[in-house]
Amino acid sequence: MTAPTKPPYGGTADSASERAPGEPLHSPVIEWFDKHARDLPWRRPEAGAWGVMVSEFMLQQTPVNRVLPVYEQWLARWPRPADLAAEAPGEAVRAWGRLGYPRRALRLHGAAVAIAERHGGDVPSDHAQLLALPGIGEYTAAAVASFAYGQRHPVLDTNVRRVFARAVTGVQYPPNATTAAERRLARALLPEDEATAARWAAASMELGALVCTAKNEACHRCPIATQCAWRLAGKPAHEGPPRRGQTYAGTDRQVRGRLLAVLREAHGPVPQSALDRVWHEPVQRARALDGLVADGLVEPLPGGLYRLPVA
């Protein structure tokens, strides 16, 4: 009698052997995480839900080593959402420093105001309430619910998506934007136990950050290398559009950063002439400044003056 073929991940288990599709991956990845996880301040119990939320905003498109000093300064100054909510939004932009993508600072400030007004100053544990906060999307709501409150939610950041793409789907890189198929797969791979699911979310993310990296992946250190569909297929090359790294030098992003640096360092409104000195090309400079105003990061005043937002 021929033995039944093992179903692929995400498929339906044979009735003779019922087990979750991701079960073969859970234990090795979580055990690896228990041994190799980085000691990061937002993973410590004292960080609380607010510390987790702050870290999730800061870590979007920004590496850990750049986030750490700003995170610690931020939590020292604003240990609770209400502390940040009591400040002008421009102070959040100022404290954001050079983390990049400063609209995240405004969104985090907006979330803090809503937490103070709607939830008595405590970050809500309910996933739907988290998702209803301004500036909180699908990923951040799931991450806070999982990492801060130990709940069972699929947490799909770039690192997790890459691990699943390789280990389960057998391709080198996930699509540029999260797809419905990826969400279904992430849900199928979730452990049933709530605490284990939360640990799995953190562990699979760390695996992507430290081992299953975008380039120079360390398969010899991977706890699921023997099960990885991409490795077993001979590591076929990416077949989609070329993946290009983001450029910075000479872009509007660089100009915006220089303009904001002047405003962050100033103790009052800044004249147009001070901003004009930071970039030689007037059309690009004006476009960058207009964009900052439109995004609510800069407030224009009468007389050609500018400042970080007060209201």
* CA atoms of 60 and 99, how far apart (whole Å): 10
Q: Which residues of the chain have pLDDT under 70?
A: 1-20, 243-246
| 296 class by beta-carbon count within 10 Å (0-12 exposed, 13-18 middle, 19+ buried) | middle
Residue numbers annotated as active site: 56
**pLDDT for 8:** 37
Assess contact for 197 and 25: CB atoms under 8 A.
no
Residue 248: predicted pLDDT: 78
Residues in the chain: 311
CB-CB contact of 126 with 49 (8 Å): no
CB neighbour list of residue 189: distance below 8 Å, 6 or more residues apart: 9, 10, 20, 21, 22, 25, 154, 164, 168, 200
- Please check whether residue 112 is in contact with residue 84, taking contact to mean a CB–CB distance below 8 angstroms: yes
Partnered with residue 305 across adjacent β-strands are: 271, 301
127 neighbors 142 (Cβ within 8 angstroms): yes
Side chain identity at 275, as an amino acid letter? Answer: L
Note the pLDDT of residue 169. 96
pLDDT in tens, 203-222: 999 999 999 999 999 999 99
Closest to 214 (Cα-Cα) out of 149, 141, 159: 159
Closest C-alpha among 147, 172, 197, 249 to residue 22 = 197
Dihedral, 196, 201, 204, 210 alpha carbons, nearest 10: -120
